[in-house]
Amino acid sequence: MKQKAVCILSGGMDSALSSYIAKAKGFEIVALHFNYGQRTQQKELEAYRKLQKSLDAVESYEIDLDFFKRIGASSLVDHSMEVPTGGLEEGVPSTYVPFRNGIFLSIATAIAEKEGATDLFIGVVAEDSSGYPDCTAEYIRAQQQASNLGTKDETKLTINMPLVAMSKAQIVTEATRYGVPLQHTWSCYQDSDQACGVCDSCRLRLRGFEKAGLIDPIEYRKA
């Protein structure tokens, strides 16, 4: 029997590539998606459903985490805050959702234990990200240790972060090589019909395609 991997799959380009890498390594995919009140929640869910189908996932979990909106403190879930569109800046931006990846990984660990999975895959990127503190290799390694300490003795999980040291250009190149259907991914923080092209996530994505010498297949809003 093939081993299972729980893949956190947002619907974005990074998590899609991470999941495709897991598939290429021979894992059966247990796909996991979170609806947490983000501005583009429905669009991301649509992207996720297309991606998990293309991955032939053996199981699919769609988890609602409404409490993130109650916590707020992030322009992704608090509509009284503006999503920054002035360009990439140093430091942690307002789009950071407090400890989101820690919560996601904790739930993923519970699902992995239930499914008998040996691995988790998460598409965190440190080198070319937006400065989120829960996207570092150091943090993910610490989370792996905590997850194994807090589960049954027979549960031995490896948290894989295959993109953590990649640039966005490398991610675009590798996604193309692995056959990721990039036309079904969504990265924009604030729009669901056409990508805005000016939020941090759009800027990083567009810069990645430009440096890779490729054309992004999704549509962007015209200035």
Domains in the chain, number: 1
Provide the domain limits for residue 55. 4-212
- Look at residue 110 and tell me if it is in a domain: yes
Per-residue confidence (pLDDT) for residue 222, from 0 to 100: 82
- Look at residue 218 and tell me if it is in a domain: no
- Look at residue 220 and tell me if it is in a domain: no
pLDDT tens digits, 187-205: 999 999 999 999 999 999 9
Looking up residue 21, the CATH number of its domain turns out to be 3.40.50.620
- Look at residue 141 and tell me if it is in a domain: yes
- Look at residue 42 and tell me if it is in a domain: yes
Beta-carbon neighbour count of residue 66 at 10 Å?
Answer: 10
Least confident of 9-18, 87-96, 114-123: 87-96
pLDDT tens digits, 11-63: 999 999 999 999 999 999 999 999 999 999 999 999 999 999 999 999 999 99
Closest CA to 50 of 194, 192, 186, 184: 184
Per-residue confidence (pLDDT) for residue 87, from 0 to 100: 86
Mean pLDDT across the chain, nearest whole number? 95
With 80 as the cut, is the pLDDT of residue 170 above it? yes
- Look at residue 140 and tell me if it is in a domain: yes
Side chain identity at residue 80, one-letter code: S
Per-residue confidence (pLDDT) for residue 99, from 0 to 100: 96
- Look at residue 151 and tell me if it is in a domain: yes
For residue 158, what are the contacts with CB-CB under 8 A and spacing of at least 6? 118, 119, 120, 144
Element (H, E) at 8: strand 4-8
- Look at residue 36 and tell me if it is in a domain: yes
pTM of the model: 0.96
pLDDT tens digits, 120-132: 999 999 876 668 9
Contact present, 166 and 174 (Cβ < 8 Å): yes
